[in-house]
Amino acid sequence: MGKEPITEEFFIKKLADAKIHFERALDCKHTEFDDLYPYMIEHPQFFWYKRYVAWSELLTIVGLCKDLDFAWEQEFSAHQVEYVEQRVMSAKVLDFWFEKNDTKEPAQR
């Protein structure tokens, strides 16, 4: 199996995966992070750290998309784009990422 070419489609797929990972972390659902660090579930800071890791991954991929001039904004609602551009995972992000009238569904995977 050969290497997949680095295209805009490839990055947008990675971005969508990172968004799902972040949304699952927000919803306290199972992610790959749980498999990597199963002992962390016993610690109170686990869910905060899990969200921080997923947020960092999302920002990293958005940064790469920006550097490559790929259209990343279409994967997010307007308020989510604003949060990502501010780069800080604040309580506002945690509380309002899923806006009630948001047309995008929370992570289903």
In angstroms and rounded to an integer, the radius of gyration of the C-alpha atoms of the chain is 14
pLDDT 10s digits, 64-102:
999 999 999 999 999 999 999 999 999 999 999 998 644
Domain range for residue 74? 8-96
Give me the number of domains the chain comprises: 1
Rounded Cα gap, residues 4 and 65, in angstroms: 17
Q: Please check whether residue 51 lies inside any domain of the structure.
A: yes
- What would the pLDDT profile of 7-58 be if each residue is shown by its tens digit? 999 999 999 999 999 999 998 888 888 787 777 777 778 888 889 999 999 9
Q: Is 74 part of a structural domain of the chain?
A: yes
Q: Is residue 107 part of a domain?
A: no
User: 15 lies in a domain?
Assistant: yes
